[in-house]
Structure 1
Amino acid sequence: MAKHSRTWWGQKFISALESFTDSGRLQRGRAYSGDSRILHFDITKGLATATIRGNVNPYFGVYKEPHYETEVKMTAIAAKDWTKIIANMSSKASVVARLLLNEVPENIEDSFTAVGKHLLPYSSKDFQTECSCPDYSNPCKHIAGLCYRLSGEMDQDPFLLFEMRGISKEDLQAELIKSPLGKALASELGDRTLEPEVATSYFTKPQTGAIKEIPTLKQFWQGQKRLPQAIPFAAPTSVSAIAIKKQGDNPPFWHKDSSFIETMEALYDRVKNKNSALL
């Protein structure tokens, strides 16, 4: 069975939910995380809301399909604490680089624990959940389904974690870019807009010029200078690794559980070793 989350931060989010939720409700909640159950899903200012389809159950007098309104919110971090956390993150190149690449570095929590906070949830105290269903238990299967959906969304946009903790992606990146490290990395990652040039032909236009001396037939066909016996190798082109990793380990077009970057690195290494004898 495929994981509901492919990143370590998404799996950590689910692990916190599983630590205080009944296993039976969790199992049923997985079935409520797909589009067939979630009619509406939205995240605004750190509040995740969803309209989830329930079940018709004549035994309990439910003859019409019910729709339940579900909410999940994480405990926000105060603005004064965010100032300290961002200052700590801005001093670490690896943290700033990964965040600007839309990834969450493994040591991200170090910047939070320094001020007595944490980004990823650890217990029920980190969650505030509500559901309009009649289930007495909180979280219910609908809340569990919304949390599973959230973990999948966090794979594509890890900044949802920060948004649910009280700071938007735009505000966080704006603060990170103010630091010297952030400015350097932002200039490397910045998209360059090139103005289109009008082309009248797809082929290079020939250029004419005056001939100082008319060559002989031998010179014309064989050339006046001897061709080099060995062709020197061209210097390898330098490509920024940051630009290559801009989409992260799980870009939108990549639907497998494995990392896209690790898969491509393995492929390139295989091609390189296979053709090493030809170089």
Structure 2
Amino acid sequence: MNRYDSDTERTFAAMPPARGRGFAQTWWGRAWLAALEDGALDAEQVRTGRRLARAGGVGAVSVRPGRITAVVQDRDRTPHRADVLLDVLTDDQWDRFLDLTVERAGHVAALLDRDMPPHLVEDAETAGIDLLPGLGDLEAECDCGAWDHCGHTAALCYQVARLLDQDPFVLFLLRGCPEQALLDDLQARSTAAPAETAPLRPEGVDAAEAYLAGHVLPPLPAAPDLPQGPGVPPSLDADAPPPVGVDPAALELLAARTAAEAYVLLAQALREGAEQRPSAARLTAAQDAVRLAAGRLGDRGTPQPVADRLAAGSGRSREQLALAVRAWWLGGAAALAVLEEEWSVEGETLARARAALESAWDEGERPVLRARGNRWTVVGAAGQLRLGQDGRWWPYLKERGRWVPAGDAAQDPATALASVRPDGEEALSQH
């Protein structure tokens, strides 16, 4: 049950064809498409939907809590009503989301600028709230009779990705909260006085009584609530000189990073089903150096002397570490491997890659690509696609003679390559 008006609806006029450009330019728009592309059972239907949307076959889009609707025309102009459903958040989830949002002024300011900061989504996930859809969350309904995503519902999803680029409040409405109601609630929480809380009193059992009772201990208490945020280590800035071999700045950064990592691990452990999730792969020393350098603590960042030590310790130059950090921000260890490792694509993997490249663009729009290993470089332009070991495509851009990560990974090479192109230009298309 949700306290917001379930009848609230916004209708967006049909958009012009999307020829020569990707459907999603923002990271949250690409995350929306990843939920479709990774969750659909028939990749050919997804490609059909992309072609229909690119050709302008999607009519006006209606968005209301839990459902988006549009009339989608086939190539032969046959109309079909397509609906895509997404669960709305509960009252409790909205309360938790609003509380964590007002705790950081930057979150509210970003939303007012029609931006969706990654840390807002990460904080929400830590609190057990999934704003963006995941694998299998986008349910499809279409009058063509398909029981899974068909070309019509896929086309609708591609069109919605364009709407999300322009206005992330479309996602909030779909999750159950209209824009004005969300802003009103944020305003109310921002101005409310903090409630006084009574001091907590520890509870326990006298050890002697427990022993005399025959070693029968009471049941363990419930797991504690997740703290508001990670602990803040003490400052090591003192008048006394540090001991020989101790770098206070590096020690402060390591302690703060450790506290942040411990907070994330605790949040994951407290979530339901934590025991069923596989453990993350152990990082090498070189990977962990990049993770430490990539961590963001407020506006302080990583002090340059500490960054220099991390670079030297990981066997990288300062410039190489900066590139590695850029990759880490986009995709962690997987993105770092794509940056620093080149491998031969062979057999079935090569066949799948070639099929994806052949079907990603409409006839006459595919750029000319030169392949070497897992890298496909656009001939005559500063763009490149790199294939990861997990089958995703990563966009790269040539800057000052070197290839640098240019955006998030995508299952569709055309969507990934769109990240390296200036808006409105056709530099990476072959006409």
Q: Same fold (TM over 0.5)?
A: yes
Which one of the candidate residues 127, 133, 147 is aligned to 2:144? 133
Partners of 1:44 and 1:170 lie apart in 2 by: 14
Partner of 1:168: 178
Partner of 1:62: none
RMSD (Å), alpha carbons = 2.5
CA drift of 1:75 comes to 1.0
Q: Which runs of 5+ in 2 are unaligned?
A: 1-19, 193-419, 424-431
Q: Does 1:81 align with 2:101?
A: no
Partner of 1:53: 73
TM-score w.r.t. the length of structure 1 is: 0.58
1:184-227: per-residue Cα shift (whole Å, max 9, x none)?
xxxxxxxxxxxxxxxxxxxxxxxxxxxxxxxxxxxxxxxxxxxx
Which one of the candidate residues 140, 147, 152 is aligned to 2:162? 152
TM-score w.r.t. the length of structure 2 is: 0.38
1:4-28: per-residue Cα shift (whole Å, max 9, x none)?
1110000000011111222211111
Which one of the candidate residues 66, 87, 90 is aligned to 2:102? 90
Partners of 1:36 and 1:180 lie apart in 2 by: 42
- Higher RCO, Cα 8 Å, sep 6+: 1
1:67-118: per-residue Cα shift (whole Å, max 9, x none)?
2111012111101210111011110112111011111011122332243121
Are the aligned partners of 2:142 and 2:152 in contact in 1 as well (CA < 8 Å)?
A: yes
Give runs of aligned pairs for residues 250-265 of structure 1, distance below 5 A: 258=422
Partners of 1:13 and 1:36 lie apart in 2 by: 19
Q: Which runs of 5+ in 1 are unaligned?
A: 57-64, 183-255, 260-279
1:47 and 1:116, CA in 2 relative to 1: closer, same or farther beyond 3 A? same
1:37-61: per-residue Cα shift (whole Å, max 9, x none)?
12332213342111111254xxxxx
What SS is found at the alignment partner of 2:118? coil
Which one of the candidate residues 114, 119, 123 is aligned to 1:102? 114
Which one of the candidate residues 57, 63, 81 is aligned to 1:43? 63
Partners of 1:19 and 1:82 lie apart in 2 by: 27
Code of the residue aligned with 2:84 in structure 1: it is: V
Give runs of aligned pairs for residues 215-226 of structure 1, distance below 5 A: none
- Report the identity percentage: 26
Structure with higher Rg: it is 1
CA drift of 1:34 comes to 4.7
The 4+ residue runs of structure 1 with deviation greater than 3 A are 179-182, 256-259
Are the aligned partners of 1:73 and 1:127 in contact in 2 as well (CA < 8 Å)?
A: yes
Are the aligned partners of 1:6 and 1:257 in contact in 2 as well (CA < 8 Å)?
A: no
Which one of the candidate residues 24, 31, 46 is aligned to 1:5? 24
Partners of 1:164 and 1:144 lie apart in 2 by: 17
Give runs of aligned pairs for residues 219-234 of structure 1, distance below 5 A: none
1:47 and 1:15, CA in 2 relative to 1: closer, same or farther beyond 3 A? same
